[in-house]
Structure 1
Amino acid sequence: MPKPKYHILVCTNSRPPGHPKPSCGSAGAAQLLMAFNMGLMQRGTPPGEVLVSATGCLGPCELGPTVVVYPDNTWYAKVTEADVATILDEHIGKGTPVARLNPDMVWK
């Protein structure tokens, strides 16, 4: 299998109800993971060209769901299902990170 062009990491960490710290899992991360995979299939992305992986906690829990795109090391905050198409079309498709989704918290 060839080396992937991109690797999309989606934080899916969940904490128990009532926990004082928020989590990406409780903010809809599982749906994001599915939306990225479905979006790649709908766009006809060849298998292995872009990988999508669930991760544990990435750190900025209060800004979740958090998504990171490598090898660009671009961090996205508060990603929604509606943002997935934009990330796939702009960042993955054209190589241009989506500025409105990577505010000052982005470490690039």
Structure 2
Amino acid sequence: MKLKHHLFVCMNQRPPGHPRGSCGGAGAGSVYEAIAGEIEKRGLFEQIMVTGTFCMGPCDKGPTVVVYPDGVWYGGVKPKDVAEIFDTHLVSGEPVKRLRIM
């Protein structure tokens, strides 16, 4: 199996009120589920993989999603953004500018 893309979703969970915040506390679980659902809906199991991670750094911009091998970082991702990431970036090859943080 040769993957076309691998998406990493920060799932790190800090205690409520932590000064750095956390992607887990900002709804990363729902984003992960939306990505997994989109992979299933589109039948892309052999082309796209999603993996939950611990902290990737930009906690104040979470939930953070990183797309490899492109090296594109998205911040503030919501479940409603996932279809746009698939259509615009993963299918058409153009990163979603409004969500891009790196």
With structure 2 as the length reference, what TM-score do the two structures score? 0.95
Partners of 1:93 and 1:5 in 2: CA distance: 10
Q: Tell me the residue number matched to 2:73.
A: 75
Task: Give the alignment partner of residue 91 of structure 1, picking from 79, 84, 89.
Answer: 89
The secondary structure found in structure 2 opposite 1:26 is helix
Matches within 5 A, 1:4-43: 4-43=3-42
What residue ranges of structure 1 are gaps of 5+ in the alignment? Answer: none
Partners of 1:77 and 1:89 in 2: CA distance: 17
Q: CA deviation at 1:83?
A: 0.5
Partners of 1:100 and 1:36 in 2: CA distance: 18
RMSD of equivalent CA atoms: 0.9
Partners of 2:58 and 2:64 in 1: CA distance: 7
Residue deviations 1:25-74 (CA, integer Å, cap 9, x gap): 000000100100101111222x2210100010010000001000000000
Partners of 1:11 and 1:72 in 2: CA distance: 17
Q: Which residue identity is paired with 2:38?
A: G
Structure 1: which 4+ aligned runs deviate by more than 2 Å?
Answer: none
What residue ranges of structure 2 are gaps of 5+ in the alignment? Answer: none
